[in-house]
Amino acid sequence: MKVKVEKYPGLSIGNNGHLCFSGADCVRLAKQFGTPLYVISEDVFRDTCRAQRAAFEKHCPDAHISFSTKALTALALMRIAVQEGLGLDASSPGELFGALKAGCKPENTILHGNFKKAEDLEFALGKKVGRIVVDSFEEIEELDAVARRMKVRARVQVRVNPGVEAHTFELLKVGMLDSKFGLPLQNGDALEAVRRILKKKNLDFMGVHYHIGSQILDPSPFRIAAERAMEFLLALRREAGATVRELNIGGGLPVRYDSRHPMPTPEQFARQVCGTVKKIAKDNGLDMPRIILEPGRSVAGPAGITLYTVGPVKHIPGIRDYVTVDGGLSDNVRPGLYGATYDGLLANKAASAARMKPFRVCGRHCETDTLFQSLHLPDPAYGDILAVLSTGAYNYSMSSNYNKFPRPAMVAVSKGKARLIMERETYADLYRKDLTEGKG
């Protein structure tokens, strides 16, 4: 049950027996910056960006990779993604604001969302967003009206629902028919949406978008979704005379959360998608659409770990043993939200040969707040440093101030050196927007 550290990029065990991440001693990081602490390996983040670009550009040379900022909305990391040649996509105006602040060119941004209000669309068009992905008939009308008032032409992709079942967490399945996202292919809604867009003078139809879910370990659903998307492109040519310039396949590539599990490579996903699209396009005389990929978790996830300080250790004879850490629900809601699991180990005892025993690891919030139902550890003690692996995606983005705990600091490490990229919130920050007397 011991974690295979070598399976995780950037992780190693130093000569002193401490866990290291990108060459930085995790115990020293905890002492220098405090805990809980988000630690991001700039080296792993950059390497993953490059690996995904290389895999898709090998099979589709003009493929475009756009980092999904919802996975990790940190300016320093978004800036690195831009430096690595990626665009940035946003699921809200707030994320779009951050993408532009991080230095992304407006034409390389994409705005998503299943309900974008008029003011959201005005903001996006005012910032010259690269693409707006429309998700409903109502949004087509709203966007056209906003674009007409602003005297601009909005470049749009239509989000379709391919009806593909992906084997992942229930709340991460977004490509099956029963979903709030997208316009279904099966009932003709997607085709009707494109027809309506083509009639709008202020909308420029660029292409089709779909996303079947996250943390998908088997590449075959990507092939099936690509096949259905290409069938739709053929129908668009046949029924509406439409040319599709872009095919946005969303994200969904997985990350390692368990060192025992095999992991598919970006190359396997690229080969399935690009091979399918190219063959169907060639066989049917279609122009090859530009492939756009929007990875989030698969870029940010392996680049992050979280460090905690161990508090009380409780032994309940005949029941179980508990370890409490100084974080939990407010900095990582995923285990409580949908049963997400991770690997973890004691950073100061990474090389320990002591017998491993199962412990339930809990946080310090006023809820059940369980990080690990059962984690095997070697004699955990007050003051130890627990490292939770692959926490780069969605831990910070979904964090909160529940129980009025300040959000943790975040540091980036590279080649043994660390730099602070997000300050720890203070107690004053927690009440910064409160108005004791109120406003009339």
C-alpha 269/C-alpha 248 separation (Å) is 14
Gyration radius of the chain's alpha carbons: 23
- Smallest Cα–Cα separation from 42: which of 70, 94, 80? 80
* Residue 157: partners with Cβ closer than 8 Å, 6 or more residues away: 110, 131, 132, 133, 134, 206, 207, 208, 209, 246, 248
With b for 16 or more beta-carbon neighbours within 10 A and e for fewer, the 202-225 pattern comes to bbbbbbbbbbbbbbbeebebbbbb
Supply φ then ψ for residue 184, to 5 degrees. -60, 140
- Smallest Cα–Cα separation from 52: which of 68, 39, 43, 64? 64
Residue 156, classed as helix, strand or coil, is: strand
Is 195 within 8 Å of 240 (Cβ atoms)? yes
* 366 counts as catalytic: yes
Q: Tell me the CB-side half-sphere exposure of residue 327, using CA atoms within 13 A.
A: 28
Q: What is the DSSP string of 261-273?
A: S----HHHHHHHH
Catalytic residue among 20, 26, 49, 366: 366
Is 227 within 8 Å of 273 (Cβ atoms)? no
Is 251 within 8 Å of 214 (Cβ atoms)? yes
Helix axes 189-198, 220-240, angle to 10 degrees: 50
Q: Tell me the CB-side half-sphere exposure of residue 215, using CA atoms within 13 A.
A: 20
Catalytic residue positions? 366
